[in-house]
Amino acid sequence: MIYFLCGLLLLVGLSGILLKRNLIKIVISLTIIEYSLFMFLAVVGYKQNALPPIVKSVTEEVNYVDPLPQAIVLTAIVIGLATTALLVALAVRIYEKYGTFDIREIRRLKG
Amino acid sequence: MNSSSVAQYILPVFVAMPLGGAFLIQLIKKISKGFCDIIANFILLLLLILSLSLLDNPLLVYKVGGWMPSKGIPIGIYLVLDGFSLLLLVIINMIGLISLIFSISYMKKFTNKPLYYTLFLLMIAGMNGVVLSGDLFNIYVFLEVAAIASYSLVAFGTEADELEAAFKYQVMGTVASAFILLGIIIIYSITGTLNLADVGRVLKDKVIEAPIILTGILFLVGFGLKGAMMPFHAWLPDAHPSAPAPISAMLSGVLIKAIGVYALVRIMFCSIGVTPLFADIMLVIAVVSMTAGVFLAFAQWDFKRLLAYHSISQMGYVMLGIWLMTPLGILGGLFHMLNHSVFKSLLFLNSGAVVYGTGSRQLKRLGGLNQKMPITGCTSFIASMSIAGVPPFNGFWSKLIIIMACIQSHHFSLAALAVLVSIMTLVSFLKVQKYVFFGEPKQELKDKKEVPFAMCFSMILLAFLCIIMGALLLPGVKELFIDPAVNTLVNGKEYISLVLK
């Protein structure tokens, strides 16, 4: 179920990038995509009735959660922060030059 | 302690030194601006020498933090150097050094030179990390370091065009990273490991499972966007011309190879495994990039934009060679990758010199620069002939090998198409030569003169490499540099046992 919701969130973000005309809304859509991936990562690492992975004795068989996805999520969030900050900075500079956030009016380049 | 166990400690230096240098420059920029030039160039020179000193080593593995594998399963982060990584490592640091020498003069017109060096070194650190990394998640992290540095470098001029191109580039780049991360998560949830070799070991018997096909598609789209393969190329013709010339040279000569083609080929060949269907899809993408890139380049009248479209076309050749999956094809593909990084960065530096000398990059406004800027004209002629595949220069040899490989594997139509695209490239570059360099200089160009020494020096260096690099195919030299890289890909699955031993 929750996998399905992550997928839905990803699609919401993707459609936002494709359909929205406002630079800031595009940035928000990108963040939504990133958050859907973070949630997906957290779900992948989830285990029912498991303990935090702090190993006290090697011999005892205990059900630990997987610590790796949590570490990865943390790194990915930091990278996402850097990306968003740079994008917003670019959007602000574009607004200074063009006087608009509308991508229909920001098309000096042909692609 | 034998020599290879000492050599493995060099590997983290490739990431650590540019990272350290990047922040050192920010610290000392108050004291002396000229010092920043020296530090940045010195770091790149040292890295180039170090990467060349690793030439005849076998596969090296460095376990970060000394985390030894437990019961044969790797726990820590691995840095791995084999022939294929080494080829990329040499390309990155060589082109990086030459672009930096060029920047000493060229970047004077921009205000914040220390910031430029910081971003440049971060990009180098990221790319070195991508090619050395032995696990999936570190490939993602280093790829993002390189990519974020390159987004800001594209916007470095902070004019309207640059900002627009950088925004477009970053939106596409971030979507690509999201796809790559999703692919990595799916791989992790199937195999429970991120180490490339370990993933390969776990997946050995189940190549055709549905989640693996899904990850294949995700990686194809993600790295395809990063590497500007044809359906995903839209950012490249805007981003490459907007960046300052040395950065265009780096983006086109190195970045799209290191974080696009290299990463995809490494993950597919050495870890997940290539299905025939995937190879066929890649061949189609390669051929489409190769042909459509050159057609789109035909219509361009902006010097740098024309070069950017040719980048797409030439990367099509590289992928065509590699994804034929025959030893000869891989040899041609990798050799063309090396050659393309040399002549394409030379062409972008030429365009930078033209812009620096005349202030324009519209082909119709230029003319007769051979008389005013003889060194720029001469080196660009060499580079143009090289990219078009005219015999004595390096581009000819690699294209010849790729065409031979097509014929060997009975893809006759592909071989014919490769020849045709090569001829069209020649026509396109004759147009550049005619409009920019030949003939009589226009009235407003009469008082222009040659660019400063540092810029001439780096262009002459690259032109020299264009002339002599065909010699890398001679027996004796070939075994040293090209063959280890080709063998890594031909025996892709050997990587697993070599790393895990």
Question: Across the interface, do B167 and A90 touch by the CB < 8 Å criterion?
Answer: yes
How confident is the model at residue B4, as a pLDDT?
57
Q: What is the pLDDT of residues B246-280, one digit of tens each?
A: 999 999 989 999 898 999 999 999 888 888 899 99
Question: Is the dihedral angle over the CA atoms A61, A65, A68, A71 positive or is it negative?
Answer: negative
Q: Which of B384, B387, B390, B386 is nearest to B370 (CA)?
A: B384
**Contact assessment for residue B74 and residue B121, using Cβ atoms and an 8 Å cutoff:** no
Structural domain contains residue A104: no
Q: Is residue A59 part of a domain?
A: no
List alpha helices for B80-135, DSSP H.
83-106, 113-132
Domain range annotation of chain B: 3-500
**By residue range, what is the domain housing residue A20?**
2-47+65-98
Total number of domains constituting chain A: 1
Tens-place pLDDT, residues B182-204: 999 999 988 888 899 888 888 88
How far is residue B274's CA from residue B268's CA, in Å, rounded to a whole number? 6
pLDDT at B207: 59
Centroid of chain to Cα A45:
17
Cα–Cα distance for residue pair A88/A101, rounded to 1 Å: 11
Is A105 part of any domain?
A: no
CA B93 – CA B98 distance, rounded (Å): 9
Chain A residues interacting with chain B (CB cutoff of 8 angstroms): 10, 14, 17, 23, 26, 30, 33-34, 37, 40-41, 44, 66, 68-69, 72, 75-76, 79, 82-83, 86-87, 90-91, 93-94, 97-98, 106-111
Provide the 3-class DSSP secondary structure of residue A109.
coil
For residue A89, tell me if it sits in a domain.
Answer: yes
Nearest to B163 by CA among A104, A91, A86, A99: A91
Name the residue among B141, B167, B178 with its Cβ closest to that of A37. B178
**Mean pLDDT score, B153-165:** 89
Q: Where residue A75 sits, what CATH number does that domain have?
A: 1.10.287.3510
Q: Whole-angstrom Cα distance, residue A90 to residue B148?
A: 12
A102-111, B321-330, B400-409 — which is least confidently predicted?
A: A102-111
User: Residue A23 domain-assigned?
Assistant: yes
Residue B254 sits at the vertex; the CA angle it makes with B249 and B259, to the nearest 5 degrees, is 135
For the stretch B63-83, pLDDT in tens is: 888 888 887 788 888 999 988
Determine the residue among A22, A73, A79 to mutate to test chain B binding: the one whose Cβ has the most chain B Cβ atoms within 10 Å: A79
Say which residues have a Cβ less than 8 Å from residue B311's Cβ, sequence separation at least 6.
B228, B236, B240, B252, B256, B293, B340, B344
CB pairs under 8 A between A and B: 89
Give a yes or no: residue A54 inside a domain.
Answer: no
Which one, of B450, B264, B291, lies nearest residue B369 by Cα? B450
Distance CA A87, CA B155 (A): 11
**Exposed / middle / buried, residue B62 (Cβ in 10 Å: 0-12, 13-18, 19+):** buried
